[in-house]
Amino acid sequence: MGSTTGQIFRVTTWGESHGGGVGVVVDGCPARLPLSLKEIQADLDRRRPGQSRITTQRDETDEAHILSGVFEGKTLGTPISIFVWNKDTKPEDYRDIKNAFRPSHADYTYQAKYGIRNWMGGGRASARETVGRVAAGAIARKLLKVRAKIEIIAYVKRVQTIEASVNPSKVKRADVERNIVRCPDKATAEKMIRLIEKIRKGGDSAGGIVELVARNVPVGLGEPVFDKLEADLAKALMSLPASKGFEIGSGLAGTYMLGSEHNDPFVKRQGRIRTRSNRSGGVQGGISNGEDIILRVAFKPTATIMKPQQTVDAKGRKVTLAARGRHDPCVLPRAVPMVEAMVALVLADHLLRQTTQKG
């Protein structure tokens, strides 16, 4: 269980890193949405391995196939099935770990939970699974754009200690995509790239922060109590591999403020009710208030490192591991499209849910 998300815009991913392929079924996407393979492929290309010298060298073209749900360039209202073959699999790279548990990976927990695992790579816990999410996210993004001109942009905010200066309300996707680390602050981006390269040469890995802004979100998305917008966003983002923390608006920093400093006063601007500041991060009482949604996700340093590590095998015997598989020294550049995809899925779902509740 657990491979489906969404109440209305329902997304089911499937696939292991070293099985036949990976894919997704999207059910509940409204009919007559213009949709092309090209739009989906564009996002998959931003996610795919081997795209730059600071990502894993596994060489997958990740070519998407749409098998159903689209007819003459438009959605049918029926499930959209998309799949991608696994091609550049190297199970032999993983033979060493067939019986060993890589530290801070899911090898041990999957083995303990299921009593079986596909040891040829990360299996279902591999970041390869996010192919399906990103493909579904591209559809969600299209829906959000067509219905409400919602724009979702994520970028690398910090790599380890190197933090970028970015204005969320102004940042453009073109600026994010201009460099391989996906940080729109050009000077900082170069430092980040150098840091990642240095860390990789040391056989190690780094973590950091991805920040995201969603603009033009209409007022009213999110449901009271358990399905608050920030709750669903938190779940979506904490479901990404390697994420360890989530913040919205003022986040942790807000806990140091007084209520009188933190509250966002309401004002009327251009005929609309707005807030003067945006420490709420675009959500109040679990419901979007029309301001930019701003959130951050913390990613730990990649668990796979080239340095030798002590661990144990299934029988508890000590073993020393050194990764031979191809891996990302820092997941953040490739996490950017994943973060966007997950936020798009949540917003698309709530946009459709909202249509059912209008009085």
Residues 266-295 contacting a copy of itself, CB under 8 A = 266-268, 271, 273, 275, 279-281, 283-290
User: Binding of a copy of itself at residue 21 (CB under 8 A)?
Assistant: yes
Q: How far is CA 13 from CA 5, 134, 259, 299, in A?
A: 9, 10, 42, 22
Question: DSSP assignment, residue 302?
Answer: P
231 CA to centre of own chain: 16
Nearer CB in complex with a copy of itself: 37/180 = 37
Rounded to a whole number of angstroms, the minimum distance from the CB of residue 290 to a copy of itself is 8
Q: What residues numbered 327-356 form the site for a copy of itself, per CB under 8 A?
A: 352-356
68: contact with a copy of itself by CB under 8 A? yes
User: Residue 63 CB, nearest distance to a copy of itself (Å)?
Assistant: 14
Side chain identity, residue 304 = T
133-172 positions binding a copy of itself, by CB under 8 A = 158, 160-161
Complex with a copy of itself: residue 216 or 263, whichever CB lies closer: 263
Transcribe 84-129 into DSSP letters.
Answer: EE--S--GGGGGGGSSB--TTSSHHHHHHHHS----SSSGGGSGGG
Q: Could you tell me the two tokens for 164?
A: 């970028």
Out of 43, 49, 56, 83, the residue judged to bind a copy of itself by CB under 8 A: 83
Short-list 121, 49, 117, CA closest to 90: 121
The angle at the Cα of 185, spanning 182 to 188, to the nearest 5 degrees, equals 90
Is 236 an interacting residue with respect to a copy of itself (CB under 8 A)? yes
239 lies in the binding site for a copy of itself (CB under 8 A): yes
What is the Cβ-side half-sphere exposure of residue 344, based on CA atoms within 13 angstroms? Answer: 30
Q: Which is nearer to a copy of itself, 179 or 354 (CB)?
A: 354
Residue 55 near a copy of itself by CB under 8 A: no
- Contact pattern for a copy of itself over residues 190 through 219, marking x by CB under 8 A: ---------x---xxxxxxx---------x
- 41 touching a copy of itself, by CB under 8 A: no
Q: Least distance in Å: CB of 56 to a copy of itself?
A: 14
Could you tell me the maximum CA-CA distance found in the chain, to the nearest angstrom?
A: 69
CB 70 within 8 A of CB 10: no
